Each structure stands twice: as C-alpha cells, then as structure tokens.
Structure 1
C-alpha cells in the first residue's frame, strides 16, 4: 500500500482514521453538497449567516482531509443558480465569503500544491467576489496537487442546455458530424470538462436529493448521505464516507 500524504508532520487522530482506509481504492473525484449551514445555526439560536461562516471554515478541514489520502479533485457546491432566491442579506453575505476565505487560506493552499478552480457562470456574481476567486485561481494555476473546485452560481440543467446548444451549433456549422456525437463528446461541452466524473457524492443535512448538481456527471457516482449539517461534518465523517465507498462494488451496469 502506498503511504498517505501528511499535513503538518506530527501524527494526529486524523492519521489514525486514515490508517483504516485502503490507499489503493481512493476515489479520484469527490463532490460535496455542503448543506445545512443555516439550520445548524438556527438550532443554536444563531443567525443563518453564522452557519455559513462556520461552513466556510469547514471547507479547509475537508480539503486537507481529502488531500491527505490522495483525492485528486474535490468539488464543493458553494452556491447554486437557485440560491439567488434566498433573502438578499443572506446572498450578499455568501458572496463576501470568498473575500475572507482566500486571503486567509491561500498561502497554506499554495504550500500544499492545491489548485483552485471554479465551475459556474460569472454573470450576476459581484465583481468583488469574482476578483477574490480569480486571484486565487491565478495564484494556484501552476499547482499540480489536489484540485479544489468550487461550483458557484452553478446549475446542472442550465449547464446541460447550454452544452446541447453549443453542440448543436457545431453540428449545424459542420464543425463536427452528427455521427461523431457520443457521451464523451457531450461531456466535453459541459462546464466540468476536462475533470473526471465524481466517484463519490457526499451530501450533508439529511436531504436525499442531488438538487440540480452535476446530474450528467453523477450518473454512476456512489452517493453517501448523512444527517449531520455541514458545519458539524468532520474529517472523521469524511473518512467514514470514504470507507463506505470502498465497501461498495462499482459494476457500472455489469455483473
């Protein structure tokens, strides 16, 4: 078995949990629906935005946990196209979180060879939000380790419709032939290209749906749900999800 990567040197309880994981069967791409921030805060008599702040801090912990075992891509569902329907004050707060997260964490992300990416549409997102994200993308673009991909202002139905339109335009213009269109080609027209499809989807807060997230890409992903809200989802719970993934047989429709 190959050794796992160590963050910060000394042996921790995280490393004890890691020892129970098969290093030869690590999901290459893990996607996470970080749900339940507001409910976590309300149960504690706090404003919903306090839950979002705690959830933001949890991103780093789970990124470190994923990187430590060799996950290649970690996609976090940060803000959906439907989230614009939330109260204006909450949306404004969410849009300011990247301005706090990236300046605080970027040096450590760079030191650990993490590359930042964004999947979603820029339009509608405040300029100050996009600047914070783009600065982080630019500063980490040459890193070759874990890809930390934020799905922000993202919705899968819009993504697929946009992909169909672009693909149709290329067929009509003669750029590609209709006979050449297959699943792999269609995937290349999606926002997530060239990232691999997720092997594992984790959703917190007890909801049992995928909520317009990576619907094409999740066709054969393993799904793992927990009642825990995102701010209380720890590295231990992440590793439990990985262990459950490793207990499953992925047959892709075969025997």
Structure 2
C-alpha cells in the first residue's frame, strides 16, 4: 500500500470520530472564552516560555480541533497556523477560533501535502501527543517540518514515549506487562474506532498506526537538517490512556520533549 492509501484511510477514520470528540470536549472548549486560556500542561508551557513565543510565527502539525494551536496563540505567539488531515476537525477549529475571537489560521491538508507557499514561514513547529505514529514515512514527515521552518527555526515535540506502546492500556490487572513488540515491520491495523476521549469502541473505518521507535524518531530528525538541542524524558502520561500507571512502583518513561533547530 502506498503512502496516500494509508493517510486517506486515516483521514476517513479521524473524520468519523471527530463528532464524538466534539461532544466529549465541549465543556473544555468553552473555557477558551476566558482570556489567555490554555490547555497545555505546565511541563510544555515551561519549555515554550523558555523558548519565548513573543513575536514568533508558529505552526502545529496534526492540530486536531485547534485547542492547542489556540493555546499557543494565547501564550504569546504572534501568529499561529494549525494543519490537520481531518476535514471535520479543521471545521471545528475554525468555528471555535471565531467564536472565541482567537486569531489563528487552520488548514485542512495531508501533512505531506502542505503547500510550498508555507516553506520557511515559521520560527517554531510544534508537534504534540500521538502525532508521529500516523506517518508511514517518518523521514518525509520531518522533511516537511524542515521545509516549513525558517533558518534557525525550532521544532518542539511533546509526545507519548514509544515504550508505552508495548503495553495494553486496557489491561488494568497487569498494567506493566509488555504485550506488543517494540520493533514492527508492518503497520498495526485497527477498526474499533478512535474514541480516546469517551473511551467507546465502535465498528469504524480501518486505520493504520506505525509506532516508530525512539531511534527512528531521532534519526529521521537528524537526517533532515535538524540538530537536536535537547531531549528530556518524563514519567507522566500525556495521552489520557495510561493514567493507571501513576501509582505503580516501577516508573516507566511515559512522555518526552525533543527540541531541534534547523541548520
């Protein structure tokens, strides 16, 4: 199967779940009517503040319904653009930004197909939890990141640690038992829905995830004119899937922040 077949299948699946997620997040979205509201946690907010958003043009890839993109704007960015493949998610992002009078641009597109008019337009590209697993060609993804960045621009990734994908998030009796391989040769295929907000399963469109290893992520960053500036690991969950690991005596790496600068 070629790249476009994978990404189009995933687009259909995300469109299917977007309405469910809209209802599940409605109360949280209303908070954006409060000036300066942000859904970003203290960990990534501190990193962003250390970077300094004032006067910066920021892009978020895989922005979903735009709440994180609008948070970046509320934290001081001069201009924010969110890109996502889901038609419905982008529609909801635009509606929310208009309703809350937050000046952000939202673009519906396959990330691989972001128009060249955005090349070298951004000081910062932000990538958040659960984004990288959707890309069949991760090097091509970071090639896109690189072309969007200005010279000396920064990519900041706050993502789920790949080690967690070896666990079954639904097995609360044996939460630390590793059930899935770290290294995979073929994408994992599912059709039980993407509702990680309401935690409901349903017969949905088939979707594919590629679960890159940490070395794959690092190497794909490095081979695309991006020099790693920092890499930090954390033992807190940012996915809403592994909250039950909080009380375990054995601490696993659950999330990480990677920053890299374009040469």
Structure with larger Rg: 1
Task: Kindly indicate which of the two structures has a greater share of residues assigned to helix.
Answer: 1
TM-score, with normalisation over the residues of structure 2?
A: 0.33
Higher-RCO chain (CA-CA 8 Å, sequence separation at least 6): 1
TM-score, with normalisation over the residues of structure 1?
A: 0.33
Task: Kindly indicate which of the two structures has a greater share of residues assigned to strand.
Answer: 2
